[in-house]
Amino acid sequence: MTKKNLLAVIFLVCSSLLLFTQQVFSQQVDLAQYNPLSPIKVKHAGESLTVKWQAADKIDYQLVLDISGKNPLMQSIAYAQSGASSFTVLAQNIQPDFPVTIGSRGKSRGLTEWPYIFFDTPNERPSKSFPSRLDLKSVKVSSEGGRVKLVFSTFSSGSFSGDLVLNIYAGSPLLYWEAAMSTEQAGIAYIYEGLFQTQVPMIAYKDNKTKQIVRQRPSNEAIPLQVVHRTVMAEYANGTIAFFPPPHASAWPVNKYAHNRGYVKAGAGLIGIRQEKEGDHTHAPWVDAFPGTVQRMGAFLLLSPTKAEDTLERVKRYTHGDQFKIIDGYKTYTEHYHPAMTRKEMGEMGVTEQGEPQPFTTALEFKAVLKSLNVQIVHMAEFHCCGDFNGRDVGEKRFKQLKAMFDLAKKYSDDEFVMLPGEEANAHFGGHWNYLFPKPVYFVKSRKENEPFVEKLEPYGTVYRLGNSDEVYEMLKREGGLAFTAHPRVKGSQHYPDDYAAEDFFQDDDVFMGAEWKAIPSDLSEPRLGRRALKLLDDMSQWGFKKKLVGAGDMFYLDFESELYSQMNINYLKLPELPNLGSGDWSEVTDVLRRGDFFVSTGEVLLHDHKITKSQVTVDVEWTFPLGFAEIIWGEGDQIKTHTVSLSQSKEFGREKMNFPIDLSRATWVRLEVWDIARNGAFTQPTWLKEPVNPGANIKKFTP
């Protein structure tokens, strides 16, 4: 063979190898569902994918992904002023890592099949942490509206397996990474970490104690950090990357103490978010994962060309700085807190169930903390259940206690912040329930045979002695009070309100308002929070009752070091001004709740106004994170129907009046939910287009 022929053969072999390599990677990368007209540009070349898009502030970003499976997935992140020809490298060689700790789900009050479990301690049973592994076999790129999704398969951690997903949003500097995995293992509970393996030159965060920005060289071993705004940052020569979780969907809800347990983690070669294993040391609910459900474990990266201080300010915009935004025509209202301020005010101390000194929040601190979150009205649940602070007393101790609570509420209320007195009564109806009266009402929870149901007793005036549920109901009617189920279908109300749904007191919508909403339990297969209570609202509407859901806190202790915002939600009551407790009457609050003139929000999605007719749903929506979807839910005969509208065209930080044409001519009741990409959302109370035909006829006890 001549030298010329040999070179020709070599050329043909190399060309064939190159063609084969290109074919392999063209098979590996699926662009069939990607629209080239998308504002986010994706280009595939050999072993790399390049993504370019314009974020806010006229900054263009470029992400180069190494899809060889041999190197860190994020090869480089760079930025440029919009229209510039060259990019500045922000960071290089970053590998997503979502390790999962898998434990067991225990029994809940002897019921092994009950779907809503809260009081559990998987942290006290054997568990195992598994590293994550990306075995890159394929990449699927899809676009919808103003966003692009890249799915890297396959991804696994322990018994969980599925995909690693990257979401990018036009007009936003956010990268949202998700481990979208499922397991066939039954009876498990889990927690996850959203970490990123990379060399971090400098970490920065706002310290939870000093409230100051801290910069430090990372330690060799990644350690948890107690920070403000759930954010830790990697600061580079040319900018910063902030790492933070979905605000309300990552820190599963606590029961008593919302202490900051360190929800981020950083070291020399690792940075990201984490979930806390131990909870508040009285229980640790972890996250539910029913077999076959895709759990979407997420972590945000915010890219920034600025230093850490400015980057954190950018992160804070998504949660209004961890405050509930004040909006015209509404007052922010939260309820169900057990701070035991009255005991502190009366100089009486107590002990916890473990025999330790009871932590107390003083009224001044309680007020200051909630005001810092822009709470304007708080409905207290000062006394919890029967044995708390003379709860079973049938005479003078109890009346003095109630008077002290009324005096405290009046003392610490002003023209910017109002405390409404109340308690979690849990008497006679069944399960746990709260009440709200429009004025001070004195009662004890039991009575002797020779004592009257109601009498005049100085200096308290009218007092009630309750011997049964009928008398509780009668007192509520006489005094204009509202009752509602605390944490329905879970915790101490596991069988309620279902088990008393046929009772007269429950079926009176003017007296029994409905139930509480809180994001429990945690199940990351849902694109929203709090499905348990939302499903109950639909059930109650189908039973023919005009019930409402009120957002609840349900915490015992708080201070300025608590991680409160992620645990909270807020009610926006349609009120022109705050009630004046000095008048001894705050019926404007009970009237708004009774009418359902309010919406519930996690804080990031606001519904300024909405209207529902038989042919259209109109809503004035404001949001921070890009929106995910709106859902219209209604009752039609014996069916609950839904209509979901994708909001993938939305960009971050917007407000729009949205119109959804829909045939609701056969609907009896209708309500609306709006959720963003991080599972933050807001929902309305039901609008009734028809009167229920036969209320109570279809009541069925809840079954899993």
Q: 227 with 264: CB under 8 angstroms?
A: yes
Using pLDDT thresholds of 50, 70 and 90, give the confidence band for residue 357: low
Q: How far is the C-alpha of 452 from the C-alpha of 23, rounded, in Å?
A: 89
Indicate if 313 and 365 belong to the same structural domain: no
Which positions ≥6 away from 228 have C-beta within 8 Å? 205, 206, 207, 208, 211, 322
Mean pLDDT, the chain, rounded, equals 91
In this predicted model, what pLDDT tens digit does every residue of 45-98 receive, in sequence order? 999 999 999 998 889 999 999 999 999 999 999 999 987 889 999 999 999 999
Indicate if 498 and 555 belong to the same structural domain: yes
Indicate if 290 and 343 belong to the same structural domain: no
Indicate if 413 and 296 belong to the same structural domain: no
Last residue of a domain, one of 268, 284, 318: 318
Q: Does residue 141 form part of some domain?
A: yes
Q: How far is the C-alpha of 44 from the C-alpha of 29, rounded, in Å?
A: 8
In this predicted model, what pLDDT tens digit does every residue of 556-569 receive, in sequence order? 888 999 999 999 99
Closest Cα to residue 599, out of 524, 540, 686? 686
Mean pLDDT of 6-30: 51
CA distances from 332 to 47, 127, 410, 437 (A): 52, 41, 18, 18
Mean pLDDT of 617-624: 98
DSSP label of 622: E
Q: Does residue 704 form part of some domain?
A: no
Q: How far is the C-alpha of 207 from the C-alpha of 232, rounded, in Å?
A: 10
Q: Does residue 20 form part of some domain?
A: no
Q: 181 with 192: CB under 8 angstroms?
A: no
Indicate if 456 and 574 belong to the same structural domain: yes
Last residue of a domain, one of 289, 318, 347: 318
In this predicted model, what pLDDT tens digit does every residue of 186-238 receive, in sequence order? 999 999 999 999 999 999 999 999 999 999 999 999 999 999 999 999 999 99
CA distances from 605 to 168, 175, 297, 600, 631 (A): 20, 20, 21, 9, 14
Indicate if 412 and 549 belong to the same structural domain: yes
What pLDDT shows up at residue 396? 84
Could you count the other beta carbons within 10 Å of the beta carbon of residue 54?
18
Beta bridge partners of 517: 551
What pLDDT shows up at residue 330? 98
Mean pLDDT of 604-616: 98
Indicate if 236 and 381 belong to the same structural domain: no
In this predicted model, what pLDDT tens digit does every residue of 663-690 receive, in sequence order? 999 999 999 999 999 999 999 999 999 9
Q: 525 with 295: CB under 8 angstroms?
A: yes
* Residue 22 pLDDT exceeds 70: no
* Residue 512 pLDDT exceeds 90: yes
In this predicted model, what pLDDT tens digit does every residue of 415-436 receive, in sequence order? 999 999 999 999 999 999 999 9
Positive or negative, the CA dihedral 33, 36, 41, 43 is positive
Helix/strand/coil percent split, the chain, to 5: 15, 40, 45
Indicate if 335 and 313 belong to the same structural domain: no
The pTM of the full predicted model, rounded to 2 decimals, is 0.94
Last residue of a domain, one of 268, 290, 318: 318
What pLDDT shows up at residue 448? 85
What pLDDT shows up at residue 447? 87
Closest Cα to residue 439, out of 476, 392, 494, 491? 476
* Residue 702 pLDDT exceeds 70: no
* Residue 184 pLDDT exceeds 50: yes
Indicate if 410 and 558 belong to the same structural domain: yes
What pLDDT shows up at residue 20? 42
Domain carrying residue 160:
41-318
Indicate if 113 and 245 belong to the same structural domain: yes
The CATH number covering residue 114 comes to 2.70.98
Residue 319 token pair: 């949660």
Residue 6 token pair: 């040999």
Q: How far is the C-alpha of 67 from the C-alpha of 55, rounded, in Å?
A: 24
Q: Does residue 120 form part of some domain?
A: yes
DSSP label of 224: E
Indicate if 117 and 205 belong to the same structural domain: yes
Which positions ≥6 away from 210 have C-beta within 8 Å? none
What pLDDT shows up at residue 111? 42
H-only helix segments in 323-435: 341-345, 363-372, 396-411
Residue 479, helix vs strand vs coil: helix
Q: Does residue 34 form part of some domain?
A: no
* Residue 470 pLDDT exceeds 70: yes
Could you count the other beta carbons within 10 Å of the beta carbon of residue 46?
12
Q: Does residue 294 form part of some domain?
A: yes
Using pLDDT thresholds of 50, 70 and 90, give the confidence band for residue 461: very high
Mean pLDDT of 282-300: 92
Q: Does residue 18 form part of some domain?
A: no
Torsion of CA 181, 185, 188, 192, to 10 degrees: -30
Using pLDDT thresholds of 50, 70 and 90, give the confidence band for residue 254: confident
Q: Count of domains in the chain?
A: 2
Pick the residue with more confidence: 254 or 633? 633
Using pLDDT thresholds of 50, 70 and 90, give the confidence band for residue 269: very high
Mean pLDDT of 264-276: 96
What pLDDT shows up at residue 118? 86
Per cent of the chain over pLDDT 70 is 91
* Residue 387 pLDDT exceeds 60: no
User: Which range, of 214-228, 253-267, 596-610, averages the lowest pLDDT?
Assistant: 253-267
Give the DSSP per-residue string, 445-470.
Answer: S---TTS-SEEEETTTEEEEE--SHH
DSSP label of 287: E
Q: 582 with 410: CB under 8 angstroms?
A: yes
* Residue 23 pLDDT exceeds 90: no
Indicate if 379 and 501 belong to the same structural domain: yes
What pLDDT shows up at residue 2? 58
Q: Does residue 290 form part of some domain?
A: yes
